[in-house]
Amino acid sequence: MDITNTPFGITDWSAIEPTEHKGVTGTAYWRTQQFGNIRVRMVEYTAGYLADHWCTKGHILFCLKGELNTELEDGRQFVLKPGMSYQVADQAEPHRSSTSLGATLFVVD
């Protein structure tokens, strides 16, 4: 990650209007900030969310609340709980998210 031309700033996530992203089931609400080529998001998944696609975008993801299930296309599965994170490079390992309980995540990509 190369962070350039981004002055110091703060983000009040509660002041950013969420956008709605439907899954196969459930909904993800994204509050998004763009800093050059870096996207930073606070994402809230509703209970019962299942992503509608395999994602190939790289992320650094930190679980703040709830529980997130991440499945890799090769069948491996991981569970993130508050205080846990994962990282994956662009085009490295297709993955998709789901949650039975709901989850709140901080994502940089």
pLDDT digits (tens, 9 = 90+) for 76-98: 999 999 999 999 999 999 999 99
Question: Is pLDDT of 18 > 70?
Answer: yes
Mean pLDDT throughout 46-74? 96
Residue 16: burial class (beta carbons within 10 Å; 0-12, 13-18, 19+) = middle
Dig out the tokens for 66 from the structure. 């709830």
The predicted structure's pLDDT at residue 5: 84
Class of domain 19-108: mainly beta
List the chain domain ranges. 19-108
Q: DSSP characters for 33-55?
A: EEETTEEEEEEEEPTTEE-SS-B
pLDDT above 70 as % of the chain: 99
User: Mean pLDDT over all residues of the chain?
Assistant: 95
Dig out the tokens for 21 from the structure. 């992203």
